[in-house]
Amino acid sequence: MNAETTPRRVRKAVLPVAGLGTRVLPATKSIPKEMLPVFDRPAIQYVVDEALAAGIEHFIFVTGRNKSAIEDYFDRAYELEDTLRQKNKAELLAELDRFTPPPGATSFVRQQAPLGLGHAVWCARDVVGDEPFAVLLPDMLTMAAPSCMQQMMAHYAQVGGNVIAVEPTDAPWSYGVIDPASRNGRLLKMRGMVEKPAKGTEPSNLFITGRYILQPEIFALLESQGKGAGGEIQLTDSMVRLMQSQDFHAVEYDGRSYDCGDKIGYLNAVAAFALANKDFGQAAAATLRAALENR
Q: Which residues bind ligand UTP (CB under 6 A)?
A: 16-23, 33, 62, 111, 114-117, 119-120, 137-139, 261
Pairing state between β 58-63 and 12-16: parallel
- Cβ neighbours for 25, distance < 8 A, ≥ 6 positions apart: none
Q: How far is the CB of 162 from ligand UTP (least distance, A)?
A: 18
**Which residues in 154-204 belong to E strands, given as ranges?**
162-168, 176-184, 187-195
256: left (phi over 0), alpha (psi -120 to 50) or beta: beta
- Residue 45 near residue 99, CB atoms below 8 Å: yes
- DSSP lists the bridge partners of residue 182 as 189
Nearer to ligand UTP, 122 or 188 (CB): 122
Nearer to ligand UTP, 46 or 180 (CB): 46
Q: d(Cα 226, Cα 243) in Å, to the nearest integer?
A: 17
C-beta nearest to ligand UTP: residue: 19
| Surface-to-core class of residue 74, CB atoms within 10 Å of its CB (0-12 exposed, 13-18 middle, 19+ buried) | middle
Q: How far is the CB of 66 from ligand UTP (least distance, A)?
A: 11
Q: How far is the CB of 249 from ligand UTP (least distance, A)?
A: 22
Helix H or strand E segment including 93: helix 90-98
Nearer to ligand UTP, 62 or 270 (CB): 62
Nearer to ligand UTP, 84 or 177 (CB): 177
The dihedral sign for the CA sequence 200, 163, 151, 256: negative
- Residue 164 near residue 208, CB atoms below 8 Å: yes
Nearer to ligand UTP, 70 or 194 (CB): 70
Report which residue type is found at 114: P
- Cβ neighbours for 14, distance < 8 A, ≥ 6 positions apart: 60, 62, 121, 124, 128, 133, 134, 135, 136
Q: How far is the CB of 6 from ligand UTP (least distance, A)?
A: 31
Q: How far is the CB of 234 from ligand UTP (least distance, A)?
A: 10
Q: How far is the CB of 115 from ligand UTP (least distance, A)?
A: 5
Nearer to ligand UTP, 24 or 52 (CB): 24
Nearer to ligand UTP, 111 or 204 (CB): 111
Q: How far is the CB of 189 from ligand UTP (least distance, A)?
A: 26
